Each structure stands twice: as structure tokens, then as C-alpha cells.
A and B are shown apart, each in its own frame.
Chain A
Amino acid sequence: MDELCTGLCKLMAEAGADVGLAQFVSLLVGVLLVSGVPLVTVILLIWVERKVAARIQDRIGPNRVGPLGLLQTFADMLKLLSKEDITPTAADRILYNIAPLVSFASVVLIWAVIPFTPFHYGVDLEIGALYFVAIASFGTLSIMAAGWASNNKYALLGAFRVVALLVSYEVPLVFALLAPVMLAGSMSLVDIVNAQTGMWFVVLSPLAFVIFYISSQAETGRAPFDLIEAESELVAGFNIEYSGMKFGMFFAAEFLHVFTNGILMALLFFGGWMGPLFYESPLIAFAWLGVKGTIIYLTTLWLRNTVPRLRIDQIMAFNWKFLVPLSIANLIFLSLALKILQELGMAPRDLIGASFAEVLPATIVMLLINLAMTVYLLGIMRKRGREARRESQAGAALARAGAAGD
């Protein structure tokens, strides 16, 4: 029992509490502490998102409620609380009400495995990297359930499109995720960060990061992949019949998911909490992770507010004919190069705790391979783009000729 009962639990047990109860309470406190982070962040995120979007679109954004409009979210929450909640009579009531809960919970649950500092985390699961991919499945299913339970053609059509998008982009996402897992030789997120002491994985495998970045942008349903919110085509999408706080929960889940992905990318590719002086104090380590995650998060907002929405056929073609083959090729080349380097003794077999000098030769080779692949790919993309443009121009010319003929 001793190994199970440490920290707070031990204190309570020594004070005379029942061991089982002490364990339960310490677990509960842990859960509340860890889940507090995303729950507090999400309130701030809504403000950040609106402010950034406004600035990019040359507006001011929320600025009335509180200093810099910081209290705007609370005002919105109060408004949502006072809204009438309309459940369509045709809806499947149970599924309709459960879907927003599952959607939000599936994002919060990811935070159970996120290590904030080398020693502060909810759990360090052996299968951490697989865990958050598996948990994301619940989010997908909840969207499907919401669309279906609303009993509305637009909602169902929106849900189908979004789910097709989500499952499609999960393929390159997971193939890209295999790169850090392979380099670290572990799925535990703590191990993955520790394996980046010598070199960040974004340097060792930049293409994997780019693929992961693009697919996670799609997984959160952000532009250019924002079919989830296709106002002009599907009235709104899967959440058209939702109102009040239930609608708010879908949105909060989306905002939080974007930020969570930023933190995950910081952990998987940017060395997580590592930075100058991180070993001095857990607070500095935590700050580094926060800074890195926030920077990645802000770039996704920037992307979202800059690019237009793609059509569903374009999105699917981009995924299956470009991103998936690319992610597989990347995995093959990465694993081949690393194995050759390991056999030649130029790369350490275990990156955990490896120094910069040890990883340097491997890094240079990896960078060259990635560069070669990128140049080749950009060539292909240019060729394809030119062909597609020529085709559509020919089509347009034909249409004009037809119109003139009439």
C-alpha cells in the first residue's frame, strides 16, 4: 500500500484517515487541479480568440466589458444562461442532451496526460500519445450523435461531412505522430519531451510537424477546413438546432481543443517545458510550455483568419491524395535514415538524455532529407496547381463560348 499512497494521501493516512478514503481524496484533488487548468484557460481563450480575430480583420474586438474587454466572456456566459433552451420536438432527446457534454469532456480528458513540468502532471501513461488520439474518437462520435439526434437535414448533412473530414485527417495526424514516438521510443509524453534534450523533434523531422499541424487544424474544424461551421452552405452545420448553453458547450470545446493542440505540438515537437533555466523551478518550466503552446496557438488563429474555406471535394482530395501519401513517405524515409544512422553509429540509439553533440550529425542528415523531400513536393504541387488552373480556365472559356453561342 505504501507505493500507492504518497503525498497528500500519506499525510491524510498519518493523520488517521482511512487509507482507501485518503487515496480517493488525493486522486480527486489531483483531478480537480489538472482539470482546473483547461477550465480556467478556456474562459481566457474565448477572449483571446475574439480579440485576435478582430485585430486581423482590422476591428477592435470586445472592449466594453472590463479592462480591454476581458470580462466579455462572463457577460456572454450570463447571456447564454438566461437564454431559452429550445429542444426541437422531433429531436432524440437523450442523445441530443448528451452530445454537448461528451464533446466538451473529450477535450478536457486530453489534459489528464499533459505534463506541465517534468514532475507535475495528471498521469504519465505508458500509452500517452495513443491515449489522446483515442479520446478524440469520442469527440467525433459526439458530433455524429448531435447531428443525428437533431433530426434536421442540414444538421445531419453537416455532421456527416464533418465526421468524414475528421476521420480522414486522423490518418496523416497519426502517421505524423508516429515520428516523435519512434524517435523517443516511447508513447509516454514525459519520455517524448525528455528525448528532446539534445534536439527538438521539429528539427529532426520538420515535415512530420507540418503534417501534424495541418491535420490538427482540420481536426479542430478550423479554416481552411471549417466545414464544421459552414454558415453559407449548411445554415450552420451539425449544431444548427442547439441553443443556449448547450450550443455554448460545443463552442467552448472547439476553442479549448485548438489550444490543447497547441500545447500538444509544443510537447511533441518543441521540447515542451525545455528552455533556459527550466530546471531551476517548475514555474519556469511551466511558463516555457505555456509560451510555446501559446505561440503555436496564435499561429493557428492567424491561419484561421487569413485563408478562405475549401470545398469538401478539395479538402478530401488534399488529404487522401497529398497528405496521406506524404505522411507515409515521411515515415518511411525517416525510419530508414535513422536506422542507417544508428547502424553506422552516427545516431544514439536512445535519445532520452542524449546531448546536443551526440544528436548533431543525425540532425544534419535528417534536415537534408527533409529539405530534399520538401523541394520535390513543392515541385509536384506547383505542377498540379498549374494543371488544375489550366483545366478550370479551359472550362470557364468553354462556358463563356457556350453562353455567347446562345
Chain B
Amino acid sequence: MELNAVTIGFFIFSVFTLGGGIGVVTTRNLFQGTIWLMVSLFGVAGYFVLLSAPFLAAVQILVYIGAIAILITFAVMLTRSVTRIRERYIRTVPSFVASLALFLVLLFGVTVPIFGEQNPEAIPAFVMTTRDLGVALVDADGYVAPFLLASILLTAAMIGAIFIARDEES
């Protein structure tokens, strides 16, 4: 493998992603777990940059590190003394089997369709800009239906969340 800036970047971000993942499953502290998760997702943002999708990278950081991390922390602090879980999770074998199965499904699901010698010329050199994305989002032949559906979904999520959170309180 050629050692250039892209491969070095790939290795660095892989360390972030995998290291963060290991951190999440090994720490016994929920807040540290959150931070590790963010380290992992930061690595994923790095992959997006390497794939020439900087907009998605910024979105990844904005949504996960900016919002989800905060939300998880708020949620953690809602519950009493969960920051120090003492009991160990006992069902190790079933969870190991389940996660291994999921990993294999994902691995083959992603790699099988693109397995074999790849022809670099077959990959289009076209890089989608944010403007193309914006045009496609509201184009009648493009993604306008999913775009509006996303809006409805977000509205529903917010209404549902408020409904549940307020119900618990009263």
C-alpha cells in the first residue's frame, strides 16, 4: 500500500474510530463512555473528509458532538447514580454471539457487492458539492419527497419526545 497523506489519515482516523469503540465498551462510567463514543464518531467524520464529503463530516461533528453528546449527558444525569454501575453484565455469551452475527452481516453486506479487483477508472471523478446536494434535495425528480418526509419525521420525533418526557414528569 502506498504511504501518502490519505493512507496516513485513514490510519489515524481508524485508531480514533476503533479506539473510541473499545473505550465505549470497556469503561464502567457512562460519561466517559459518552466521550469515547464521540472520539469514535470523530474518526468517522474524518473518513467523510477522506471520501471528499466535507459537508457530511461537518454534519457528523455538528449533530453528534454538538447535540447527541450533550443529549446523552443530560439523559444520564436524569437517572439516579447510574454513573457508577457496580454489577457486571452477566449474559456475555448471548451478547457476544449477537454482536458477532451483526458484525458478519454488516461485513459481508458491505464487502460482497464490491468484492474483487476494483477498476479505479470505473469510479466517477465527479465530486458532489453542497450546492448539488441542495438542488437534489428540492428537485421534483430528486429527493423532495424524502426531504419533506424527514421534516415530518423530525416534527413527529419532537412531539413524541415532549409527550413522553412530560408524561413521566406528572
B31 at the interface (CB under 8 A from A): yes
Tell whether A185 pairs with B131 under 8 Å between CB atoms, given A126-B54, A141-B69, A148-B31: yes
Q: Is the pair B32, A137 in contact by a Cβ cutoff of 8 Å? A: no
Q: Is the pair A148, B66 in contact by a Cβ cutoff of 8 Å? A: no
Collect the chain B residues with CB atoms within 8 Å of residue A136's CB: 66
Collect the chain A residues with CB atoms within 8 Å of residue B31's CB: 148
Contact among B35, B55, B66 for A170, CB-based, below 8 A: B66
Tell whether A138 pairs with B67 under 8 Å between CB atoms, given A126-B54, A126-B129, A130-B55: no
Q: Is the pair B73, A126 in contact by a Cβ cutoff of 8 Å? A: no
Collect the chain B residues with CB atoms within 8 Å of residue A133's CB: 58, 62, 66
Collect the chain B residues with CB atoms within 8 Å of residue A138's CB: 61, 65
B100 at the interface (CB under 8 A from A): no
Q: Is the pair B58, A144 in contact by a Cβ cutoff of 8 Å? A: no
Report the Cα distance A358→B128, complex, angstroms. 31
Contact among A130, A131, A167, A187 for B70, CB-based, below 8 A: A167
B130 at the interface (CB under 8 A from A): yes
Majority SS at the chain A contact face: helix
Collect the chain A residues with CB atoms within 8 Å of residue B61's CB: 134-135, 137-138
A208 at the interface (CB under 8 A from B): no
Majority SS at the chain B contact face: helix
Q: Is the pair A92, B73 in contact by a Cβ cutoff of 8 Å? A: no
Q: How many residues of A contact B (CB 8 A)?
A: 26
Report the Cα distance A131→B55, complex, angstroms. 9
Report the Cα distance A186→B129, complex, angstroms. 10
Collect the chain B residues with CB atoms within 8 Å of residue A127's CB: 54-55, 58, 130
Report the Cα distance A136→B61, complex, angstroms. 10
Q: Is the pair B35, A145 in contact by a Cβ cutoff of 8 Å? A: yes
Sampled A-B contacts (15; CB under 8 Å): A20-B4, A95-B35, A126-B129, A127-B55, A127-B130, A133-B58, A134-B65, A134-B66, A140-B70, A141-B35, A144-B70, A148-B73, A167-B67, A185-B131, A187-B130
Name A's B-contacting residues (CB within 8 A): 20, 92, 95, 125-127, 130-131, 133-138, 140-141, 144-145, 148, 160, 163, 167, 170, 185-187
